[in-house]
Amino acid sequence: MTTAATWWQSGPRHPLQVVMDSLAARSGAAFEVELPDGRRLRSGTGTPAFAIVFHTDAALVATMTRGHMGLLEAWFDQTMDVRGELRAVFAAGLAAGFDLQTRPWNGLENDLHEWRHSNASPARAKANARAHYGLGTAFYRRWLDDPLMMYTCGYWPEGTTSLEQAQRQKIDHVCRKLRLAPGERYVDVGCGFGGFMFRALETTGALGTGVNTTTEQVQWLQGEIERRGLQQQLAVREADFRDVDGPYDKLVSIGVLEHAGRDQLAEVIRAHAAFLKPGGLGVLHFIGHVGRFETELFIRKHVFPGGWIPSLADVIVEMERCGLEVVDIENLRRHYALTLDVWAERFERGWPQIRALDPVRFDERFHRVWRAYLIGCAEMFRSPAGYTHLFQIVFCKGRINMADYPMGRGFLYG
């Protein structure tokens, strides 16, 4: 009788070799696989860029049946290891389209995840947000920029030399797009640790109110506003993004739309519109697809429960339905790759201190999941085969008048 173990060892040519050769041909990468019995398989021309080392037959079966999800979860479980740069593994897999190979059970699992973790309920949306953003200020401080702790794409024009500079430049870039002025009231939807509000107050004098559903971030930010004596200029409200107050002169939404969920895009866009006065300006900064694609199961299952990456086209349609006129669209995809590169390097360098915060929560599995997330997303934004981007949309509630906004884009860079 053929068992899983003997099946892998049967025949003159290992069944995994066929898959490897196809991946090597499509990616142009040479690599090696070491099997649990010690045999080594090689594909591609030249020196292998990395090696995949399987420790169990179960890890092999998972990879052959579930593709990249089986491979990733074997690595998380430490039944597979990588020799060489993890970055090279992701670059090769993305170039070969390994993440796009349809596996019926991966699709079914994605549907099951949506059923269990949909953001349709504010309570479920809050739990989903806290699962990721509620890991604590001490955790995020180890690898985000200091002191603003912006957990979104930086802005890296030529000459930028640090993450801190990139994040300040991102905030200033958005403030210029919004034409923020002293005394104007704006809402920061999904304000995180308040970095945008602190920087915008310093540089423009505008008055900000943050809306955030993550209890841990709200409590920290409330304390920080009070510590700085800024209660008359800044405030934060613990609420779902659909819980509208206002109206405000301006709106900034940075990294929120990805958390609307698969079926809540229209609802969240309507809320963004409702936050604004007629004629008010907003900036919508979000990860988006060009084309309609399923959101990566790995990200939804292991990193952002309930998250969903919308298509740019669907976002624009919903904005138009809500009476929002698109004024400008900028694609910062390349900037996100650079931001993630620095996050991944700082995360790895700070891992001993992160682990010491809570060795039970921040264990080796967590370490591997987050390395895969940070490095994998950097390569996703960098890959020529990718379809995921980072958009900033400037919009107006109603049709913008010729005198209300500059006719050219020079004011952004002067």
Residue 111 counted as domain residue: no
Q: What total of structural domains would you count in the chain?
A: 2
Q: Is 377 a catalytic residue?
A: yes
Please give the single-letter amino acid code of residue 190. G
Residue 113 counted as domain residue: no
Same domain, 84 and 140: no
Same domain, 94 and 174: no
What does DSSP assign to residue 408? S
Active-site pick, 153, 175, 191, 377: 377
Cα Dmax for the chain: 81
Average pLDDT rounded to a whole number, residues 79-98:
94
Write down the pLDDT at residue 7: 42
Same domain, 328 and 236: yes
Same domain, 168 and 238: yes
CATH number of 321's domain: 3.40.50.150
Contacts of 127 (CB under 8 A, 6+ apart): none
Residue 82 counted as domain residue: yes
Same domain, 40 and 97: yes
Q: Which domain holds residue 87?
A: 4-101
pTM summary value: 0.94
Same domain, 180 and 294: yes
Please give the residue that has the higher pLDDT: either 332 or 67. Answer: 332
Residue 106 counted as domain residue: no
Confidence check: pLDDT of 171 > 60: yes
Residue ending a domain, choose from 44, 73, 101: 101
Phi, psi of 413 (to 5 degrees): -125, 0
Same domain, 9 and 136: no
Strand arrangement of the beta sheet that strand 80-84 belongs to: 40-43, 31-34, 50-54, 80-84
CATH number of 91's domain: 3.30.1050
Residue 112 counted as domain residue: no
Is 142:346 a contact under the CB 8 Å cutoff?
Answer: yes
Write down the pLDDT at residue 305: 94
Residue 97 counted as domain residue: yes
Write down the pLDDT at residue 4: 43
Same domain, 92 and 142: no
Nearest to 388 by CA among 302, 294, 306, 307: 294
Nearest to 367 by CA among 153, 77, 29, 92: 77
Same domain, 75 and 134: no
Average pLDDT rounded to a whole number, residues 18-38:
92
Neighbours of 336 (CB within 10 A): 22
Residue with tokens 């949306």: 125
Nearest to 47 by CA among 4, 95, 1, 83: 83
Q: Tell me the pLDDT band of 108, cut-offs 50, 70 and 90.
A: confident
Is 388:289 a contact under the CB 8 Å cutoff?
Answer: yes
Same domain, 200 and 290: yes
What is the residue-wise DSSP string for 263-315? T-HHHHHHHHHHHEEEEEEEEEEEEEESS--PPPHHHHHHT-TT----BHHHH
Range in 14-23, 244-253, 330-339 with the lowest mean pLDDT:
14-23
Instruction: Enumerate the β-bridge partners of residue 283.
Output: 252, 394
